[in-house]
Each structure stands twice: as C-alpha cells, then as structure tokens.
Structure 1
Amino acid sequence: MYTYLSALEIDIRLSNGNKTRFVQSQRETAKRVVEHLHPERLFAQKQLILAGEHSLSVYPCAAIERIDFLTEDFPTWSFPRNITDIVEIPESDFLAHYDLNTARGQRRFRPGESFRVYSELELTSGQQLFREIHLLIPPEEPGPEILPIDRTIIFQQLCHAPSLHLRRSGGGMIVINPSHLVRMTFYPGPADAPENAWLADSEGHPWQ
C-alpha cells in the first residue's frame, strides 16, 4: 500500500514521457481541489493551471497523457453503465489471466451475474497500463444470455469517452486523456465483434 507523504499528490504525465509531481500538504485545500474534479471535463479545457507558493505552471491539456491523483480522501466516481469498478493491476496479474487458447466469448453470462474483463492500454509515450474491469449484468436485462461488453453502447463508452478513469494500484485515481490512447485490448474479447472489425489474431501478446 502506498504511503501518502502529503494530503494530495498530483502526477502530470506528458505525451513526451516527462512527469512532474505537485503536492498539497493542507488537507482542507486538497479536499477542495478534489471536490471540484470532474473527470469528463478534465481534458475538455484548453489549459490546466497549477498555482504553487512560488510558481505558476500551465499545461496545454492536449499535451497531457494522464494525471494521477494520490490521496486518501478521494471521492467515488461512477463508471459507465454495467461497470461497477475499474482498477489498475500489475502486468504480472494481467498475464496470469491472458490465455491465447481461450476464444472470444467462450463463456456467456446470464442476468444477475458478475464477471471480470482484463484490458491493456497503450499510450502515445509507449507506456502501458493494465486494468481489471468489473461488470454486472442487471437482473432486469431482457434475454436469456447477455454479455454487457457485447453491447455497442458499452464498447463506445469505454473507447470514446472524454476521459478514462480507474482506481490506481496502491490508492488514488488515474485519469487518462483518450486522445493519447493508441491501443486498447480486451481479454477475453466479446463474443460478437463489431461489424467493422477485421477478423485477425495477433501473434503472441499484443504489446510484443
């Protein structure tokens, strides 16, 4: 578990690979910053401004790849429909679940069931993030067998949202700028691929 050195730590990661950390030691000030955060609006603004005691830093949001917020007092942000949680996991955990012998949609789930999907993200800088996505099929959903990630609306929410956020491994949150997302891989993949998908398999792991 991460040991917090300040009430709030903010890591700004740029598309060129550079990273800068900003800290706020006053808990009340940190709380106000966090309370005014809206992940869906974060990268919609042209600039992100951070005012310190001795300096003022301005970042064009188009240059920001991701922002990590490290704090114990982080609010609960909602996820897209049918998704109950998204959490960062180590690459080793992702590999433990990645099996090239398992076909897409090999198992279907019924209403009321919960399951997990694993996802790997590649960003402009070459950085990779691994996610564990928790999904729940509502009992009221029609049909005998439904896989939420098969639904176009869920796929679009995950791929075309104004920002992508997930719980950071060790605590806090990560918010990703989707304009710097160069690849997103889901495992296991949905049973029914989008109509415009090319049917082809990668040789080995996608990131190799």
Structure 2
Amino acid sequence: MTSKITVITTANRARRFVPTDESSLETIIDSLRRGGHLFSGKPLIIGAGAQTEVFAAAAIACIEIETARDLEEHLPSQHNLSLTALTPEQRAEPFVGGLDGDHFSVRIEFFFTGGHALYMAAAGVRKPALAERLMNLTGLFERPALHYRLAQGGIGLMNPRAMTRFLINPGVPDLPSDAWLAEAL
C-alpha cells in the first residue's frame, strides 16, 4: 500500500499528497509525536520538486495519513478514548451502544467549520468521578489535537479549534447541571 496524506481544510477542501520516498515518510511520522502542536499556529508546509503548498494551521480541520504501518505508538495518549472512523457501510448499520460496566461505546459525529464531518466509533473506560466524566465531555474542544484510526489503515488528526460541534449517540447519561435538557426535532 502506498502511503497517502490528505489535508482537509476548514473550507471543506481535501488536498492529497504522496510522500516522495520512505525517508520523507519517516520525517512525517516523527512529526506525529508532537501532533498536539500541528494546529498551534506554525504553518504546515508540504512540498517537493513540482510545488510547495503552505497551510495555515487554523485553517486545517483534519490531517489523515493512510498507510499499512501501525502509527499508534507515535501518537500522544488520549486517556482511554479510542476513536475509529466509520465507513459509509458501517454508518448505515444499526448501532446500540452505551454503558457496559466501566466501559462505554458510542458513535460521535464531529462537525467542522466549512462543513466537513467525521463519523466515529468511540470506546473507552468510563471515569469513576462525575467531574472527570464531565471534563471528558466538554474538554474535547480544549485539546490540542484528537487522533483517530482510519478504516482503511492509518491515522487521522483532527483540529479541535476547527470543530463547531459534535453529536454523541446514544446520549450521555451524566450532563452538567447547566446543560439544557431538550430533544432534537
């Protein structure tokens, strides 16, 4: 499998690239270790002999790297939250999630400035303290980056600062005291 890189902007445009060789892929993978800094202000520069493209960090919604290699070890911890992108076929399948003892499984739809959307299966260990659970719920917008596994192999990084909202199914049982209680129409 040839590795591919896709940069999705907040204008909902996807730009695709292929690493020039194996050593350039190693440099890209090495930059994942500081994945939290990818969206912190410094522009992302991708180039080779034919052209150079520069992306404003704030205008990047997601970066995806398709590869057969396991890149999980190069990513920062997400504190017991595992996200996996869903294929259109998986999204169409009926889903029953929720709590099972200390574990949870949900589907989360992430929406970004410009209209890009990501559909994820999420699983993890439920935090014992209510305050920690509420922080996990609201703290996603405050993280420097969120990573996820691609269905076709590889990983993606999303920019929480480019997110406009996310939708969790089934609903979260423990809501903050100031949450508005209402059903969607």
Same fold (TM over 0.5): yes
1:43-58 alignment runs, 5 A limit = 43-58=39-54
Query: Are residues 1:32 and 2:27 paired?
Result: yes
Let me know the Cα RMSD of the aligned residues.
2.6
In the alignment, the residues of structure 1 paired with residue 132 and residue 170 of structure 2 have an alpha-carbon distance, to the nearest angstrom, of 11
Match of 2:16 among 6, 21, 26: 21
Give distance in 1, aligned partners of 2:51 and 2:99: 55
Partner of 2:121: 132
Measure, in 2, the Cα distance between the counterparts of 1:125 and 1:176.
14
SS in 1 for 2:18: strand
If the length of structure 1 is used for normalisation, what is the TM-score? 0.75
Provide the C-alpha distance between the structure 1 equivalents of 2:101 and 2:139, rounded to a whole number of angstroms. 22
User: What displacement does 1:32 show?
Assistant: 2.3
1:149 CA drift (Å): 9.7
- Structure 1 residue aligned with 2:101: 110
CA deviations over 1:7-27 (Å, ceiling 9, x no partner): x32111112222211111411
| Alpha-carbon distance, 1:147 to partner | 8.2
Is 1:151 aligned to residue 138 of structure 2?
no
Report the equivalent of 1:90. 87
| Percent identical | 23
Consecutive unaligned residues of structure 1, counting only runs of 5 or more, are 204-208
* CA deviation profile, 1:110-157 (whole Å, cap 9, x unmatched): 34xx331111111222222111111124xxx7xxxx488971232234
Question: Does the CA contact (< 8 Å) of 1:80 and 1:157 recur in 2?
Answer: no
* TM-score, length-scaled by structure 2: 0.84
Do 2:134 and 2:174's aligned partners in 1 also have CA atoms closer than 8 Å? no
Q: 2:160 aligns with which of 164, 174, 178?
A: 178
8 Å contact 1:45–1:61 — kept in the other structure?
yes
3-state DSSP of counterpart to 1:151:
helix
Residues matched between the structures, number: 182
Displacement over 6 Å in runs of 4+: 147-150
State the distance in 2 between where 1:97 and 1:155 align. Answer: 24
- Does the 8 A contact of 1:150 with 1:193 survive in 2? no
Letter in 2 for 1:110: G
Q: Distance in 1 between matches of 2:19 and 2:182?
A: 48
Aligned-partner SS, 1:40: helix
Instruction: Answer with 1 or 2: which has the greater Rg.
Output: 1
Question: For the structure 1 residues 128 and 198, does the alpha-carbon distance in structure 2 shift closer, same or farther, using more than 3 Å as the test?
Answer: same
Equivalent-residue separation in structure 1 for 2:37 and 2:94 (angstroms):
33
Deviation string for 1:45-77 (max 9, x for gaps)? 331111212322211111112111112224212
Q: Do 2:41 and 2:58's aligned partners in 1 also have CA atoms closer than 8 Å?
A: no
- Alignment CA distance shift 1:150-1:132 (3 Å): farther
Distance 1:96 1:197, change over 3 A: farther
Which runs of 5 or more structure 2 residues have no equivalent in the other structure? none
Q: CA deviation at 1:185?
A: 0.7
